[in-house]
Amino acid sequence: MIRRTLSAWVPNSLAGQMIALLLLALVAAQGVTLAIYLDERRHALRAAERAQVASRLVSVVRLLGDTPPELSERITRTASGPRLGFWLAAESAVDASDPEALDRPLQRRLGRLLADSGSGQILVRLEDSERFLAWRKARREARREARRAEEGDSSGAYRRAEWRKREYWEKRRHRLPLSLTISVRLADGRWLNAATLVPFNAPAWAWPSLLSMGLMALAILVIVVFSVRRITRPLRTLAAAADRFGRGQDGAPPAEAGPEEVRRTIHAFNDMQERLRRFVADRTGMLAAISHDLRTPITTLRLRAEFIEDPEIRDKILETLAEMQQMTEATLAFLREDAAREDSRQVDLAALVQSLCDDLADAGGEVAFAGAGRTPYLCRPVALKRALSNLIENAVAYGARARVALRQEAAELWIVVDDDGPGIPAERREEIFQPFVRLEDSRSRETGGAGLGLAIARSIARGHGGDVTLENRPEGGLRAILRLPKAGQG
């Protein structure tokens, strides 16, 4: 199930797969880069926040040292803000019982900054936000009670302000999970305590950086798409040329373009195509010459056989010579047609089959064609017509009648020829396609033919990139199917 789902999203083409893989790698690299950047940014912001807290703390300590003690409470209240609070107490707010939890680097830094202020011990600790929020709540309650006693609460404005502060801290408690608590012993023995929330994550996305990375990714993607298409374009040309060659169509060899590996592949294909053409031409010429030369001795033997006095022997010899001549003529006709290399052109396949059936019906055969709509097809019409003629004539000769149909399958065109004959045993269906092979029990010699009809039909079909297959019909009779690839369909 998972494999089918993934295969549905994976492109089938080489260009699509390369683009998808490069895009995936690009997204992964950008994601890692963004994670590292945000982590560094988070640490930088935390360092800046600590530096700001330290700076404000130093300022408050120095101010407290230069002002009368009765102003200390007002100074700490004025210096406090929504995220940083100061208060004076007789004891330190930092629990120093766990030395490992203390922030030693910040302690040393504050010690250097307050070296000439007369302050004493400095304690710094990072605490859980729950404890800090509990302290904030207690401080708010204490301040609310004090202000109510001094000012009253007739307008309700103070309650609304405190409610807004409480909502502010409740919303930020999950995004700011750590609190920084600092205690400094003043010269008069009191402790100045400060507490603040330290951001754990960056407060906002760095939109300029994200935009920059997005533009860079888009530029890389454009370059990748252009490069991959440049690489795969020669491969598509090579695939089209191989398909044409497989269907027996002549054409200009594909240009050797693209990267070196692709150029070498195209060059090897062009060499192979030329060698195959020379081989087929040499073989066809040789066989045609042999078949042509056989006609002379056969004719000579026929003339000499006429002088044999015994009629029985003479008739048998003449019958054998006639059969040999028939085979030779059939071979020559096949080889001449193969050597002619008919040019491919587009025809209406349905009309071609219909005209062939009409001609055979006019000649006395019982042939019926199940009509089909217009079917443009690029083929060698004379050769294809000969292949169909062999199949239909066999159906009429050995199966009494022929019923022909043109079907549109998923990736092929089927021309189906049914007859009412005895059929062919399954173990001999491939053997019958061999040249000069005939089945004596169902394909009698007296009916004519040299045993080349099916071999020629299959050779022509495969020359178009298709094939011819045989199967017995369940209701009786033989079914011949000539398959043609839809690649030639217009």
Taking only the tens place, the pLDDT of each residue in 276-303 is: 877 777 776 777 777 777 777 888 888 8
Say which range, 23-32, 67-76, 278-287, 358-367, has the weakest mean pLDDT: 278-287
The alpha carbon of residue 463 and the mean position of all alpha carbons in its chain are separated, in whole angstroms, by 32
Spatial strand order in the sheet of 367-370: 367-370, 402-408, 412-418, 478-485, 467-472
In a domain, 170, yes or no: yes
**pLDDT score recorded for residue 404:** 93
451-481 pLDDT per residue, tens = 678 888 888 888 888 899 999 988 888 999 9
Say which range, 124-133, 383-392, 425-434, has the weakest mean pLDDT: 124-133
In a domain, 238, yes or no: no
Give the number of C-alpha atoms closer than 13 A to the C-alpha of residue 249, restricted to the C-beta side. Answer: 20
* Length of the chain as a residue count: 490
In a domain, 52, yes or no: yes
Is the four-CA dihedral 381, 383, 386, 390 of positive or negative sign?
negative
Residue 178 makes CB contacts below 8 A (sequence gap 6+) with: 126, 127, 128, 129, 197, 198, 200
Tokens 């680097």 sit at which residue?
105
Which of 151, 169, 198 is the last residue before a domain boundary?
198
Mean pLDDT of the chain: 76
* Nearest CA-CA partner of 184 in 31, 67, 356, 57: 57
**pLDDT score recorded for residue 206:** 59
What is the C-alpha separation between 165 and 172, in angstroms, rounded?
Answer: 11
Which of 198, 219, 236 is the last residue before a domain boundary?
198
Q: Does 349 have pLDDT greater than 70?
A: yes
Phi, psi of 437 (to 5 degrees): -95, 130
In a domain, 137, yes or no: yes
Say which range, 195-204, 394-403, 450-459, has the weakest mean pLDDT: 195-204
Q: Cβ(110)–Cβ(57) under 8 Å?
A: yes
Band of pLDDT at residue 203, cut at 50, 70 and 90: very low
What is the C-alpha separation between 56 and 111, in angstroms, rounded?
Answer: 14
Band of pLDDT at residue 216, cut at 50, 70 and 90: confident
**pLDDT score recorded for residue 200:** 46
Identify the top-confidence range among 37-46, 104-113, 175-184, 348-357.
Answer: 348-357
What is the C-alpha separation between 382 and 355, in angstroms, rounded?
Answer: 12
In a domain, 100, yes or no: yes
**413 or 28, greater pLDDT:** 413
Tokens 């760095």 sit at which residue?
206
**pLDDT score recorded for residue 418:** 93
Tally of structural domains, the chain: 2
What is the C-alpha separation between 255 and 270, in angstroms, rounded?
Answer: 9
Which of 145, 171, 198 is the last residue before a domain boundary?
198
In a domain, 267, yes or no: no
Which strand (E) or helix (H) includes residue 55?
helix 14-66
Identify the top-confidence range among 209-213, 220-224, 325-329.
Answer: 220-224
Say which range, 12-16, 154-158, 259-263, 473-477, has the weakest mean pLDDT: 154-158
* Nearest CA-CA partner of 266 in 275, 256, 258: 256
Which strand (E) or helix (H) includes residue 335?
helix 311-340
In a domain, 157, yes or no: yes
- Provide the residue range defining the domain that includes 93: 37-198
298-338 pLDDT per residue, tens = 888 888 888 888 888 888 888 888 877 777 776 666 666 55
pLDDT more than 70, % of the chain: 73
**pLDDT score recorded for residue 17:** 74
Is the four-CA dihedral 448, 450, 454, 460 of positive or negative sign?
negative
Band of pLDDT at residue 414, cut at 50, 70 and 90: very high
Q: Quick one: average pLDDT of 169-182?
A: 55
In a domain, 390, yes or no: yes
Give the domain CATH number at 468.
3.30.565.10
